[in-house]
Homo-oligomer: A and B are copies of this chain.
Amino acid sequence: MMRNFKITVEYDGSAYGGWQRQDNRISIQQVLEEAIEKITGQKVAVIGSGRTDAGVHALNQVGSFRCATKLPANKIFMGMNSVLPPDIVIKKLEERADDFNALRDAKSKIYIYKILNRRLRPALGRNYSWHVRFPLDIGKMKKAAGYLPGTHDFSCFCATGTDVQSRVRTIMNIEITTGDDGLIEIKVESQGFLKYMVRNIIGTLVDVGRGKREPEEMKSIIESKNRNIAGVTAPACGLFLKEVKY
């Protein structure tokens, strides 16, 4: 009998070509599917709540898969964690009704982006933040971020050549907080994200923080719908998928 499972996954994306299966690099999806096959003997397809790019991390990525196994959920959970590599761990595995789909049913996602804003490169945690050496004006970045919440055509933050029907998305919330030793955390919640959207938003906010642009320009950048007007794509290593809401 076919059963349907929801998994919550933490991973360090440093060594992977991203979530999505691909020919030339190992992906999170492939490693998860191989682990499920080892434990259940079944070939399955794991559906992610969305793709994460090469080098992006996840605290709680969500996936779903259908599998004709008789093993209790807890056995699959423990079995998977015993065969998965040290940089991937299943935090939760639950059996769900047949119609649950991790991609289609996701209501919103929260990403965290970490910037280390100090003159010197970090020796510790090098794969877990973007090192920005120019001093950043947090007040200006917060002001610029204030233009983002709401429903907009976010073409300006979408990787060029992306094939999607609509580039309209709804950002519910964006929060910027500061921590010790130059750490800046930016939390973005949206009903959906376009390719590179968070990283392109961060690149643009950093331009504002450095004084290369005024906070008010954020409005015209969005209105331009032109990727060339916005800032650079921030590096993948600073990005963490924090939560998927259903």
A144 to chain B, nearest CB (A): 27
In angstroms, how far is the closest chain B Cβ from the Cβ of A114?
11
Stretch at the interface among A83-91, A151-159, A193-201: A83-91
Q: Which residues of B contact A59 (CB under 8 A)?
A: 124, 181
Q: Give the shortest distance, in Å, between A59 (CB) and chain B (any CB).
A: 7
Question: Which residues of chain B are within 8 angstroms of A181 by Cβ–Cβ distance?
Answer: 59
| Nearest-neighbor residue (CB-CB) of A92 within chain B | B120
A233 lies within 8 A of chain B by Cβ: no
Tell me if A57 is interfacial: C-beta within 8 Å of chain B: yes
Range class of the A interface residue count:
20 to 34
Specify which of B57, B81, B122 is in contact with A10 (CB 8 Å cutoff).
B122
Cβ of A121 < 8 Å from any Cβ of B?
yes
* 11 further contact pairs, Cβ within 8 A, besides A10-B120, A81-B120, A87-B126: A10-B122, A10-B123, A10-B124, A12-B124, A12-B126, A86-B123, A86-B126, A88-B123, A89-B122, A124-B128, A124-B240
Chain A positions within 8 Å of B, measured between CB atoms, are 10-12, 57, 59, 81, 86-91, 120-126, 128, 181, 240
